[in-house]
A and B are shown apart, each in its own frame.
Chain A
Amino acid sequence: MTKGLMLDFVTDRMKEFGTVEQVRSNRIRIVTTMDKVRDAIKRSQEQLGCDRLITISAADNGRTLELIYHLTGPHRMVISLAIELPRDVPETPTISDIFLSAGVYERQIHDLFGIFFKGNPNLKKIILNEDWPENEYPLRKDWKPDPGKFYGGIKVERI
């Protein structure tokens, strides 16, 4: 395939999902919503020729939790699909059936941010230890370690 996707080519096919803008010479960013993101990713795979998921980034901007899916393909452009989720009930459908490598990324984000991926067959703890208490999500902006709680390890006794 030829290198580079034109912005109009992408806009034609993805404009029903949300706003499309070119943020850099090789990156195009599309803002969409949680219900449309699965179809957007499937369409990128079928029509834009994206065959690889680079990563899923999660961020906390104070008001909502954001998820950004970065895809690329033989055209070497990066297509970023950004969605926002409410803080109190952050749920979104999984994409681990479309891109198999997404399973591990979703597990990590679930541990650190508390975002629940509906349909992921294996959402167990991967990066936090097994003694970590429930509902403590370290990478959220409003989280501080609570000195009263036990997060794992051993009860400290000075030797």
Chain B
Amino acid sequence: MTVPLTCSQRLVNWARVKSPWVTIFNTGACNACDIEIIACLMPRFDVERFGILAKGSPRHADIMIITGHVTLKQASRLRRVWEQIPEPKYVIAMGACGASGGVFHGLYNMVENVDSVIPVDVYVAGCPPRPDEIINAVVTCLNLLKEDIAHGGKEWRQKKAFEFPAKETIAGEVSV
């Protein structure tokens, strides 16, 4: 179902897609992912020509990139920073740490995974992911943004809880 958009809304959506601003949050990482993100801004990969800027404040950002596996101390701060980002917001969880914990899976000072603190939209594989893969992740986010605009929000992407099909019983028999 497509939502009819006014001219100014179309302009705003075009601007959002053409220049996403990014904020980086380090939740207890080994820093390799942060260095690779900064390498994206450097002359070799140069994402600024695509309109991507790395901003310090969450209030200016569209996309938040999380590096590292969330430690207990950073969990509450991560939640607070995520709540400050204005909608529409997207979260990219970088690397093996963002997906499942990587080498730090199961250690005593860590939360189970990033998903239990904030909802994640895009996962990037790698330890650390190459700058090319990070740019690919931001582009995936932008495609998601376009689809969300077409569907009028994020609800079409939310997974529904799995429901078992109803069992039919005939006079005492149980069928599976």
Report the bound CA distance from A29 to B113 in whole Å.
44
Report the bound CA distance from A119 to B115 in whole Å.
44
**Set B73, B76, B108, B115: member contacting A145, Cβ < 8 A:** B108
Query: Which secondary structure dominates chain A's binding surface?
Result: loop
How far, in Å, is B104 (CB) from chain A's closest CB? 14
Whether B119 lies near A151 (C-beta < 8 A) is no
Whether B108 lies near A152 (C-beta < 8 A) is no
**B105 contacts the other chain (Cβ, under 8 Å)?**
no
Report the bound CA distance from A149 to B150 in whole Å.
46
Whether B72 lies near A153 (C-beta < 8 A) is yes
Report the bound CA distance from A138 to B110 in whole Å.
13
Number of A-B contacts (CB under 8 A): 36
Report the bound CA distance from A159 to B118 in whole Å.
7
**B89 contacts the other chain (Cβ, under 8 Å)?**
no
Whether A156 lies near B116 (C-beta < 8 A) is yes
The residues of B that contact A26 with a CB separation of less than 8 Å are none
Whether A154 lies near B108 (C-beta < 8 A) is no
In the complex, how many residues of chain B place their beta carbon closer than 8 angstroms to a beta carbon of chain A?
Answer: 16
Closest to A132 in B: B72
**A129 contacts the other chain (Cβ, under 8 Å)?**
yes
**B81 contacts the other chain (Cβ, under 8 Å)?**
no
**A24 contacts the other chain (Cβ, under 8 Å)?**
no
**A158 contacts the other chain (Cβ, under 8 Å)?**
yes
**Set A129, A138, A158, A159: member contacting B73, Cβ < 8 A:** A129
Mark out the residues of chain B between 67 and 117 whose CB falls within 8 Å of any chain A CB in the assembled complex.
70-73, 75-76, 79, 108-109, 111-112, 115-117
Whether B108 lies near A158 (C-beta < 8 A) is no
Report the bound CA distance from A158 to B114 in whole Å.
11
7 contacts across the A-B interface (CB closer than 8 A): A129-B71, A129-B72, A151-B108, A153-B73, A153-B75, A156-B111, A158-B116
The residues of A that contact B70 with a CB separation of less than 8 Å are 153
The residues of B that contact A154 with a CB separation of less than 8 Å are 75-76, 79, 117
Closest to B80 in A: A154
Report the bound CA distance from A97 to B8 in whole Å.
68
How far, in Å, is A32 (CB) from chain B's closest CB? 33
Whether A159 lies near B108 (C-beta < 8 A) is no
The residues of B that contact A131 with a CB separation of less than 8 Å are 72-73
